Structure 1
């Protein structure tokens, strides 16, 4: 049986970052990846996807993206970036290895990891599978319905869908980009939107990520009450533009409130569209206000942008919202659920998950000795699940493993 000091499960951004820091400590380790490096970027995203942050920001410190630093890299470029980074740091990645079970040993330190290529033992185990593990589809429309239902991870492009109108459910980054792409391809689109944050893409000549940095928002260590799972509507598509749902409606997309039920082919819509849009506007305006205050306080020379404060008039689908949507009558043949993800640690047999299957941890350190997590949302700060943020969290975890390794190696002089 093979034996390593540390086994890292997952070779995406979290796993590669962890490997770099483990190597810096001289810690013997291996990364186990069921697919290829950055597999989800390659096979679980739509064809036209680009990163939601510019290349200068969404990267690890040791390597820049090639090309325009202000551009938003295509998904293929992001996957290649992680592959190049793994080669640069000589990360010990094993691809095509599925972990079927992992559990701590009884009465001694370490873990037994069972894989598709045989068992492995390790003193430390790092779960670096990230936050996008199991697509979440609310049980609203029965699977027996005639309409084709898919999660955003299965969507590829408009031509791959059946003819007819499309209902997109979920007003975050994925939903807003997919709805716009379908409309631009000539599809009739109905778009169901829930509560969301809607930051500006750029303001006063600086990208949103820059403002979040200088305003200290990336470093917030806990979400505001009720905001932990609020979706964020931001896009790097077409060079990066602010997501404005009212403008999407003006282009011909029909906006809906949250989908609340389904009966006899009719989707029931909550009466919350206006409230959701207004809350998203308030979120955007609050960031603009904070940015203006920063400029006034620091004296930095950035051009004013009064047009960014203008909120378009409500379109008819907002002022007179649809409360019931007959799918057949509206020729809706496809429903795309852009409704996020759930954790899935079915393979992990350790007392470190809550009743909803979420990891119990402090900054990624599990209460189970030797078990760690990297890549979780809000693991240590708001930026934790982003490329640049996970790198810093991975360093903290590698530091903790090194500290524990040194404790376990200690032998008193009397011995």
Structure 2
């Protein structure tokens, strides 16, 4: 049985960041990855995907991307970035090794893998938030059209001829729907509550505004916004998502997917409400940005055209609440509905009833077990490339602190009470 102080599970952005900080602290560790470094960037995303943030911002502090700072790196370049970063400090990564179980045992952990068993004092689950594709049980699998999750979508040519219903108005859903429409497909897009920040405003990118306005450091979602998706895109050099413009170009917008019966999909009548809330979010960012510029006396050009909201298209004025799949010619239903956690391989009592980790800033209830790369782990930026690097440093410091306690060998003085 091999022994390490720390086993890191996963060699994506979280695992690579964790390894760097452990290396800097001189902590003996190994990183186990069942596939390749940054595998999800390579094989679980569509072909044209680019990062949602510009290269100058969405990176680790110690290495730049090999492209223009304002560019949005393609997914293959992102994967190559993490691979090159790991080589800079000779990260002890073992690829092709799957972790099948982590079990606490006498103050340590037994880590079972496809290559044998490892004994460790600490374990960091760095598998990130994109673990198990989530498809709501709304439309039966035998309804007729091909159904797939966005993680299986690659390009328009992969799908059978015909119209496509995309469910989910977040970044993945809207980018895929836009790509399909540009490829000549008839596209229906079902959207729910969402934020849609400006990609750029007054010569500054959205990530810059989130930074100077202090929004990256929010420590929890706002009340009622826990399940609100964010529609933002780095595609085509980066552009602001505007659902109405997409509809004017030919896309049919729908409210949230609500049910199915006899070949007919039903939708909530919440489309106008969802769009109005997205507009309010968009305009609020512009208001805050304008106030910040005025307060600090910045010389950034005004952009009044950014406040122009297009007229409502027909599908918004008269929302569709029922759609016969056969009559609409829909051959594919594509679910861009996010992911669920899957930590079934961790045999510890540190999860809630839905399988979500119970932790404080990544420190679990099980001594020695840590999580990294979770959404809102410490702040809004936690699941982003730059944010996970800082969270990894915190976890590495906690491991070092615990090692310090465990290395203590002194004897506490015992005071014997004097006899009366």
TM range, normalised to the smaller chain? Answer: over 0.9
| 1-structure distance, mates of 2:250, 2:399 | 54
Match of 1:180, SS? helix
Match of 1:383, SS? helix
Deviation per CA, 1:139-167, whole angstroms, max 9, x where unpaired?
01101121100000000000110000000
Deviation per CA, 1:282-304, whole angstroms, max 9, x where unpaired?
00101100000100110011100
Shift of 1:228: 2.1
**Residue 163 (structure 1) aligned with residue 164 (structure 2):** no
| 1-structure distance, mates of 2:220, 2:77 | 32
Give TM-score scaled by structure 2 length.
Answer: 0.98
Task: Describe how 1:92-171 pairs up with structure 2 within 5 A.
Answer: 92-105=92-105, 108-171=106-169
Q: CA RMSD in A?
A: 0.8
| 1-structure distance, mates of 2:277, 2:137 | 26
Which residue of 1 is the match for residue 292 of structure 2?
294
| 2-structure distance, mates of 1:58, 1:162 | 35
Which residue of 2 is the match for residue 328 of structure 1?
326
Instruction: Give structure 2 stretches of 5+ with no counterpart.
Output: 414-420
Task: Describe how 1:136-285 pairs up with structure 2 within 5 A.
Answer: 136-285=134-283
Shift of 1:123: 0.1
Which residue of 1 is the match for residue 80 of structure 2?
80
Match of 1:53, SS? coil
| 1-structure distance, mates of 2:192, 2:151 | 19
Deviation per CA, 1:236-274, whole angstroms, max 9, x where unpaired?
000000000000000000000000000000000100000
| 2-structure distance, mates of 1:89, 1:129 | 21
- In our comparison, the structure showing a higher alpha carbon Rg is 2
Which residue of 1 is the match for residue 416 of structure 2?
none
Match of 1:58, SS? coil
Contact 2:67 2:73 in 1 (8 A): no
The 4+ residue runs of structure 1 with deviation greater than 6 A are none
**Residue 34 (structure 1) aligned with residue 34 (structure 2):** yes
| 1-structure distance, mates of 2:186, 2:142 | 23
Give TM-score scaled by structure 1 length.
Answer: 0.99
Which residue of 2 is the match for residue 374 of structure 1?
372
- Number of aligned positions between the proteins: 413
Shift of 1:224: 0.6
Which residue of 1 is the match for residue 417 of structure 2?
none
Shift of 1:223: 1.2
Shift of 1:44: 0.2
Moved more, 203-212 or 222-231: 222-231
Shift of 1:413: 5.3
Shift of 1:229: 2.4
| 2-structure distance, mates of 1:169, 1:21 | 39
Which residue of 2 is the match for residue 22 of structure 1?
22
Match of 2:107, SS? coil
| 2-structure distance, mates of 1:103, 1:140 | 36
Match of 1:153, SS? helix
Shift of 1:395: 0.2
Which residue of 1 is the match for residue 359 of structure 2?
361
